[in-house]
A and B are shown apart, each in its own frame.
Chain A
Amino acid sequence: MTENPAIIEVKNITKRFGDLTVLSGVSLSVHKGETVAIIGPSGSGKSTLLRSMNHLEKINSGEIVINGETMVSSPKGTAEYVPEREVRRICGEIGMIFQHFNLFPHMTCLQNITYAPQKVKKQPKAEAEAEARRLLELVGLADKADAYPGQLSGGQKQRVAIARGLAMNPAVMLFDEPTSALDPEITGEVLAVIKKLAENQMTMLIVTHEMGFAREVADRVIFMADGHIMEQGSPADIFERPQSERLQSFLRSILRT
């Protein structure tokens, strides 16, 4: 994997909310075509790490490089971002899927998917719609093009959100607990879509509590706790041969429930 170019490079980043340090000295890179799962107890900084990568959170220090372009660096110790417009352009290479979908409720599924490509990439409407229909097909919702988000189930909403993210043709997709707001019996339909993307060599970083899924789909699993990456490796390493006491106890607590 490492011979592939890095799509995301995070170097030694620190993020504080007031007195609370949520990320301390985290470094990680994600390479082209790789599917990386981040696991860990709540409050470990997983979501904040993800949100820092596309500028939803500002880091206090460290460096983030997306697709070869530096978004933020810390030559003098504290984080210095490139200008706003540049940040937006660089983050354009990143698609994001949220726990609560965040679809635009006043737009149909088709409009949700085509709005940004038309506005940001100046894609002609017909082209954007053709692409949107192809993506809806991919996520298994071809018949929902004209439905409003309020008419869909949670699982369907999340699949539309994935199609919306893919429509911008990002270099990498970030998933922030994509199934945590869903009823257990419908997480499968969303996970199946993500799995399909993994098979198509989409570069993905997934924060998840679905251990079975992480084990099956991820090329690499990262275990975070207390704002640090405690351990990382292949799913087999992490789930069958956990090294640290923290990971062992985390896995025990997960298995118990």
Chain B
Amino acid sequence: MTETFSYIAKILPALLEGTKVTLVVFFATLLLAIPLGLPLALGSDCRFRPVRWFCRGYVALFRGTPLMLQLFFIFYMLPIYFNILLPALTAAVITFVLNYAAYLSEIYRGGIGSIERGQYEAAACLGLNSFQTMFGIIIPQTVKRVLPAVTNEMITLVKDTALVSAIGVADLMKNSRSAVNRDSTTMAFLVAAVIYLILNVVLTKFSYYLEERFSRHEARAD
């Protein structure tokens, strides 16, 4: 038993180093993909056809192909065909942002579409233009409705970040595999699993907090 603990203590620094990289990929994707999904969502229902086609085509492409393939494309094929060489971590973040923005845009689009027509009508009757209606009336109401689905995506993201190890980024997955290969014991995988789990439990707690915050206006007085 003490042997096990001392082994874990030995590999833990490397795993935590990897966790940092995992968190970098996670937060960079979260911070960039969450806003990027919005113009895609609005564009997918845009009355101007070229914009609509572009956005829908984009979503079809990024949802329709494997994330791992997209990662390989950005990391291995951009240098070959376009002479653009990116550091592995940058390539990973770019791929994840492009991919997750596509998924999030569809969640947003559904959320925006679920707002009652009466809200648009009331806004129009008050003389609000479409920008004021969208950003002042519709989107604030959408936030609460899409939160559970966005949380779902973010949990998937935590786990998907493990893919970056395939292009040599030293994340939690890669470092745990190194330890497993080196030491001929799978204990590192177990520890990695616990770390992923902890990250997602924290994430879930935080999303519940946000949901509550955005539901405050629904609390009844009595």
A interface list, Cβ under 8 A from B: 54-56, 88-89, 91-92, 94-96, 98, 100, 102-108, 115-116, 119-120, 147-151, 161, 164-165, 168
Contacts and interface: CB of A to CB of B under 8 A. Distances in A.
Contacts of A91: 124-125, 127
Contacts of A95: 125
A150 B218 CA distance: 5
B128 A120 contact: yes
A116 B121 CA distance: 13
Given A55-B124, A120-B128, 15 more contacts: A56-B124, A88-B124, A91-B124, A91-B127, A96-B121, A103-B122, A104-B119, A106-B217, A116-B128, A148-B217, A148-B219, A149-B217, A161-B122, A165-B125, A168-B127
Most chain-B Cβ atoms within 10 A of its Cβ — which of A104, A115, A149, A150?
A104
Given A148-B218, A150-B217, A151-B219, A96 B125 contact: yes
Interface in B101-150: 116, 118-119, 121-122, 124-129, 132, 136-137, 140-141
Nearest to A174: B125
B220 interface: yes
15 contacts: A56-B121, A92-B127, A96-B122, A98-B122, A100-B118, A102-B119, A104-B137, A106-B217, A108-B217, A116-B126, A119-B128, A120-B127, A149-B217, A150-B217, A151-B221
A95 B121 CA distance: 11
Nearest to B131: A119
A96 B132 CA distance: 18
Contacts of B127: 88-89, 91-92, 116, 120, 168
Interface residues of B, number: 23
A134 to B, nearest CB: 18
A54 B124 CA distance: 9
Most chain-A Cβ atoms within 10 A of its Cβ — which of B124, B125, B128, B132?
B125
Given A150-B220, A168-B126, A102 B121 contact: yes
A151 B220 contact: yes
Task: Kindly list the 3 A-B residue pairs having the minimum CB-CB distance in the complex, ordered from nearest.
Answer: A116-B126, A102-B122, A102-B118
Interface of B: 116, 118-119, 121-122, 124-129, 132, 136-137, 140-141, 216-222
B141 A106 contact: yes
A212 B125 CA distance: 28
Contacts of A108: 217
Contact of A94 (B125, B140, B220): B125
Contacts of B222: 151
B136 A115 contact: yes
B67 to A, nearest CB: 34
A171 B128 CA distance: 17
Contacts of A102: 116, 118-119, 121-122
B12 to A, nearest CB: 45
A147 B122 contact: no
A114 B180 CA distance: 63
A95 B140 CA distance: 24
A120 B126 contact: yes
Nearest to B216: A148
Nearest to A152: B221
Most chain-A Cβ atoms within 10 A of its Cβ — which of B116, B118, B126, B128?
B126
A88 B121 contact: no
Contacts of B118: 98, 100, 102
Contacts of A148: 216-219
A150 B219 contact: yes
A154 B70 CA distance: 52
A116 B219 CA distance: 25
A139 B126 CA distance: 19
Contacts of B217: 105-108, 148-150
Contacts of B141: 104-106
